[in-house]
Structure formats: structure tokens, C-alpha cells
Amino acid sequence: MVHTGACVAALLGQGGSRKYGLTWRWLRYFKNDRDRRDFVTCGSAAGIAASFRAPVGGVLFSLEEMASWWRSALLWRCFFTTAVVAIMLRALIDVCLSGKCGLFGTGGLIMFDVTSQNTTYHIKDVPPVLVLGVIGGLLGSLYNFLLEKVLRIYSYIYGKKPIYKIILACSISVFTSCLLFGLPWLASCQPCPIDASEACPTIGRSGNYKKFQCPPGHYNDLASLIFNTNDDAIKNLFSKDTDSEFQYSSILIFFATCFFLSIFSYGIVAPAGLFVPVIVTGASYGRFVGMLVGSHSNLNHGLFAVLGAASLLGGSMRMTVSLCVIILELTNNLLLLPLIMVVLLVSKTVADAFNGNVYDIIMKLKGFPYLEAHAEPYMRQLTVEDVVTGPLQLFNVIEKVENIVHVLRTTGHHGFPVIDERSHSESPVLFGLVLRAHLIVLLRKKAFLTTAVRADSDAFRHFSAMDFTKRGSGNGDKIEDIELTEEEMEMFIDLHPFCNSSPYTVVETMSLAKALILFREVGLRHLLVIPKISNRLVRLPIAVSMHTNKAFEVSSSGYIDETRFYARTYSGCASSAGKEQVEKNKISASSFSKTLLRHPGGASELAVTNYL
């Protein structure tokens, strides 16, 4: 549901779907990168609110996990979105109370209500809770480790032939069906409890007592977990009325089955999530720990199952505040708050010692560019100068069409520095920054000049802000789609009116850690690095060209390869008798260097540029 909500929001953020005729004119005002990111964030919050009926938890989930740049406006927008979801969900549940909507009409806004359970606890109950947190951290890190290995194998298989995706999904489906049907044979039949609150054995799909080849008056406890819906299985594990319903062996088998099947099922072409499988798995081993503790704790087996689910969620996803609120909204038991907070903090702390959270692992496997929230310690010892690489692609304020087309076709950069080589200056002067999307608009509109002279303001009156918004969001137009004649290739484009003349810049001596924090906190897409001129008397060019043997990745594990930084420094010196150029190696005075550091959100990038 998180993915579904994000997809719907992204569709609205790009103005609808032209292919299917689902476009609305008023959506064109939101066709920009910032609003589209906000839409996706609100959509993910709506997905959590709808699937777990946790509107506040959805807002906190988007704050803690989804958004890399948070602000108050985005907070109330997410809150408004989840409030609408809660109202619509309540209305639809009321409509479906007649039973016409199937399983959707059952239940209410609280999915797993445990308010009737005794939640009094004492100091002696804290050690088992801490043990649950440690187990959750260990199992969560193991879950992420195995999931990463499996997804790498799946990626290798998918790279062979597209048909392999279908074959793999069918194979996993057949294997899962055979396994789930065969496992209940390992459990023995149990007599129905005399004080059972429902029919035993169960008649129909839902219920706690599945017969599964047992004689009359008996049930199979493992089949009661496997052949139930996920929601009913979780309710059975969370319930205080099922303390004597399950055997130790059945709980262990069910835990191992859910643990490994959730790993192998994720990543296939069939839709599979993470939240519910992790909750079921954590609830099973939490209940097992509760059965082992027995009468030594005031907490019943159902509450141990709730804490077990929280511990595995914390160990795998590494979220704290949002998970705590989501679980509280799921169970409607505020008295569990201290224990859930403790178990989440312990599980996250233990798991962080081994690997990252599951979402970061998946993003790295997908190759999505991402900057961590905090700089690595080694970045404090580096400057932005240490990570620039070349050659840099740039444009003059009046550039030839052929050069622009060549650069756009041979590079994938989203922004380019624009310089002004003034006659009275020994060095080119930074004029601003121009975006790829805007250049494509100019090429498509054929805003060309026959001579390399600056155009007057009337030449661009036929452009509107909507032209650049429309072309600059979503997939937009591609340079390959633009056809130009040889005569048009020899013309020029005046970039003066279309540049950002005041881009964010930092000096080359700035700490890399500070640059990363600035980039994230301000929500930048590009950051330009300029040289620092230390000579106050004579303005002399200083060019530093960094030749990196390996691309610098902010999301690396933290080590620096000794071959990564090999610098050739060229400096200009002056004496009282006049200027004397000293060269250690030959280099053009207009050398430029650049590296790209990606920002969360896909297209965002940090252009670290070193120029004269």
C-alpha cells in the first residue's frame, strides 16, 4: 500500500496520464520536482494510514523514512492526507457492514485490539523484554542480510531473459503452496478446548481452530496459523484467549516458515510487502518467548507476541517513533508504550551494529543514488576539492547550438555551469547554472540567434513559465527527439535569461562533511565549488585538477582507497618584478573538474564543480 499510494501520488504529480486520458488542467500547476516529491511523500503516508489504519503513524513514517527534506508545510499536507484517508476508510467500512464487500466489511479502524488484555507489568518483566529486543535486532539484521543475497540472485536471473521473471514467480508460488499444505502434517491433532469462544473446529476461512484431517472435536494448531489470513493469524497470536492453543513445535515451525518464505517471496514479480510478513514472523517468536517465560512474567503470551512483532520491525526497518505509533494504533493499547519504546530502541541498536536498514539495502541494490543523513567521520578530513573529477562540461553565456546538442547527447548531467569570458578579466567568471530540461525546451522552441550577440528582452517574450515547468518535470522531452538542420546547428542560443544567476556556491577548501550537510539541509539539487583566491594584491588564476581513479560515493562503507586521490596542483605566483608563471605540469588555464553526488529523490544531484 505504501508503494501504491506513492504511485498514485506520482501520477498526480506529473499531471495525470496522457496515455489513458486521465489528465486534468489544474494539475499542471504541480508539475515540478518539488511538488512531485511532496505528492509522493503524502502518498506513502496515505498508504500506511490505509493499510494499518494508522493516520498519525503514516505521517511519522513519511517523516522518519520517506522525506529527506522536511518542512512544516509538508507536515500539515501529510496530516491532511491521512485524515482524509481515515474519514474515507470509516465511511467505506460503514457502507460495507451489510456484508456485500466480503472481508473488507469486517472489523473496524482498530485492526488488532488488545485493550482487554492485562498490561500491568513490574521490574521483573523488563529482562524478558530486553531479551526480545536483542533477539529482534539479531533476527532483523539476519533478515536484511539474507534478503540482500536473495535479491542479488533475483537481479542476476532477471538480467537473463524477461520470461525468467514469470518462471521464478511460478516456481516460488508452487513451492510455497506445496510447503504450506505439507507442513500441518507435522503437527499433531489437539482436542478442542471446552471453553472455546468460537466453533471448534472452525467452519469457513477464518477462525482459530482448523480441522485439517483431524477427527471430530479436534483441531490442528499449525494449520490454524497457516491456513488463516495474515490478519487472522496475527489476531490469534496477539490474543490472550489462545494461551494454551499452540504447541512449542508448531510456533517454531510457523516462525521458520514465515521467516524464510517472506525473504524468498519478496522481489518476485508478484506483489509482496514487508510490513505484514515481518509482523507475523515477529509475533510468532515473541509468543514463543512468552510461552518459555510462562508464569515468571505478568505479561501474557499475546502481549509478548506484540512486543516480538515490534522488535523484528525495529531490527529490520530501524525506525523508532513511527513504528511505535503504528503499533499503538494497531493494538489500541497505550499502556504498552514504555515496553514498545524499549524493545524498539534495543532492537535497532543491536541491528545497527551489523548492517543497514532494509530500505537502504534495497535502494543500493536498485542503484538509486542516495545521500545519507549524516556525514561519515572520514569526510571531516576531506575538502570538496578532494572529490572533484573531470572533465567538466560547461557553456558560455552565448553558446553554439551544435555544442549544446553534443553535450546533452554525450552526458547525463542535469545541470551545467555557465561562464562569461569577459575581456577585462584574466579568468572566466561564473554567470550561473542552466538545467538540462531548460536547454531542451530552448532547442525544441528553436530560440536561436544567427550571430553570437546578446539578444534583447523582446526576443523571449513568447516563452512562459509553464513551458519550462511542463518540460522540466517527469520524463519530459529527450534530446534524441529533437531534430535540427545543419543550418540550425550553426546558430547560437543566448543563455542569459534562462540561467540561475545566483546558484549556491562554496569554496574548494570547505569540508566535505559541511558540504554534504548543506546540500541536504537546504534541499539543493546542485552545489558549485569555486577556487579560493588567497593573493590579495594580484588576482592570479589557480586551477586544481583532481584525477580520481575511482568515483566518489557518499553512500560507501566509509573506507578511502589510497589510489582514489591523486592531485596535480597548478598555481600562479607573482613577484615584485612582475608575474611569473610556474607550471609543474601543463594544463589549460580553463580547466574544470566535476563530480556528481546524488541526493535522495532520483533526479537530484550535487554538481561539485571546480573552475576558475
What does the pLDDT look like over 417-476, one tens digit per residue? 998 876 566 677 888 899 888 888 888 878 788 887 777 666 666 666 566 665 444 455
Separation between Cα atoms, residue 124 and residue 97, nearest integer Å: 44
Q: At what angle do helices 2-13 and 33-52 cross, to 10 degrees?
A: 150
What is the number of H-type helices and E-type strands within the chain? 19, 17
292's grid cell: 518459555
Model confidence at 335: pLDDT above 50: yes
**Residue corresponding to grid cell 535497532:** 348
Locate all alpha helices (DSSP H) within 25-109, ordered by sequence: 33-52, 55-61, 72-95
525's grid cell: 539539487
pLDDT of residue 459: 60
Separation between Cα atoms, residue 524 and residue 504, nearest integer Å: 8
Separation between Cα atoms, residue 301 and residue 117, nearest integer Å: 10
| 298/45: higher pLDDT | 45
**Range list for CATH 3.10.580.10 in the chain:** 377-610
385, 386, 391, 395 alpha-carbon torsion, rounded to 10°? -20
231's grid cell: 490478519
CATH superfamily of 377-610: CBS-domain (3.10.580.10)
- % of the chain at pLDDT higher than 90: 23
Of 24-38, 370-384, 420-434, 587-601, minimum mean pLDDT range: 587-601
Q: 469: how many CB neighbours lie within 10 A of its CB?
A: 19
Closest CA to 224 of 256, 272, 190, 264: 190
The alpha-carbon radius of gyration of the chain (Å, integer) is 30
Separation between Cα atoms, residue 540 and residue 533, nearest integer Å: 8
Model confidence at 604: pLDDT above 60: no
What would the mean pLDDT of 169-184 be, rounded to a whole number? Answer: 92
Q: Which are the contacts of 308, defined by CB distance < 8 A and separation ≥ 6?
A: 132, 135, 136, 282, 283, 284, 285, 286, 287, 289, 290
What would the mean pLDDT of 336-349 be, rounded to a whole number? Answer: 93
Assign 605 a pLDDT band (cuts: 50, 70, 90).
very low
Residues 31, 35, 37: CA angle, nearest 5 degrees: 115
pLDDT of residue 562: 32
Q: What share of the chain is helix, strand, coil (3-state, %, to 5)?
A: 50, 10, 35
Assign 57 a pLDDT band (cuts: 50, 70, 90).
very high
Identify each DSSP E strand in 143-222 by its residue range: 189-191, 218-220
Question: Are 225 and 250 a contacting pair, CB within 8 Å?
Answer: yes
**Range list for CATH 1.10.3080.10 in the chain:** 118-187+230-366
Identify each DSSP E strand in 107-175 by its residue range: none
Model confidence at 578: pLDDT above 90: no
What would the mean pLDDT of 535-558 be, rounded to a whole number? Answer: 31
Separation between Cα atoms, residue 221 and residue 247, nearest integer Å: 7
Q: Which are the contacts of 217, defined by CB distance < 8 A and separation ≥ 6?
A: 191, 192, 200, 201
Separation between Cα atoms, residue 47 and residue 40, nearest integer Å: 10
Task: Say how many CA atoms lie within 13 Å of 429 toward its Cβ.
Answer: 11
Share the mean pLDDT of the chain: 77
Separation between Cα atoms, residue 490 and residue 336, nearest integer Å: 72
Q: Which amino acid type is present at position 252?
A: L
487's grid cell: 543550418
Q: Give Dmax over CA atoms of the chain in angstroms.
A: 110
pLDDT of residue 171: 93
Assign 596 a pLDDT band (cuts: 50, 70, 90).
very low
pLDDT of residue 310: 94
Separation between Cα atoms, residue 180 and residue 246, nearest integer Å: 17
pLDDT of residue 457: 64
| DSSP string over 364-418 | HHHT-----SS--GGGGG-BGGGG--SPPP-EESEEEHHHHHHHHHH---SEEEE
| 23/475: higher pLDDT | 23
Model confidence at 142: pLDDT above 90: yes
| 74/271: higher pLDDT | 74
Model confidence at 411: pLDDT above 70: yes
pLDDT of residue 535: 39
Assign 46 a pLDDT band (cuts: 50, 70, 90).
very high
Residues 289, 292, 297: CA angle, nearest 5 degrees: 85
Q: Assign domain 118-187+230-366 one CATH number from 1.10.3080.10, 2.60.120.10, 3.40.50.720, 1.10.10.10.
A: 1.10.3080.10
Whether cis (ω within 30° of 0) applies to the bond prior to 531 is no
- % of the chain at pLDDT higher than 70: 77
What pTM value is reported for the model? Answer: 0.76
Model confidence at 524: pLDDT above 50: yes
Q: Which amino acid type is present at position 406?
A: H
pLDDT of residue 308: 94
Q: In 3-state terms, what secondary structure has residue 41?
A: helix
Name the range with the highest mean pLDDT among 150-154, 246-250, 296-300, 488-492. 150-154
pLDDT of residue 281: 93
| DSSP string over 288-352 | HHHHHHGGGSSS-HHHHHHHHHHHHHHHHH---HHHHHHHHHHHT-GGGHHHHHHHHHHHHHHHH
| 67/593: higher pLDDT | 67
Name the range with the highest mean pLDDT among 186-200, 210-224, 279-293. 279-293
| 182/551: higher pLDDT | 182
pLDDT of residue 201: 76
What would the mean pLDDT of 376-402 be, rounded to a whole number? Answer: 84
pLDDT of residue 391: 72
pLDDT of residue 175: 94
pLDDT of residue 269: 86
Closest CA to 284 of 222, 349, 218, 207: 222
pLDDT of residue 178: 92
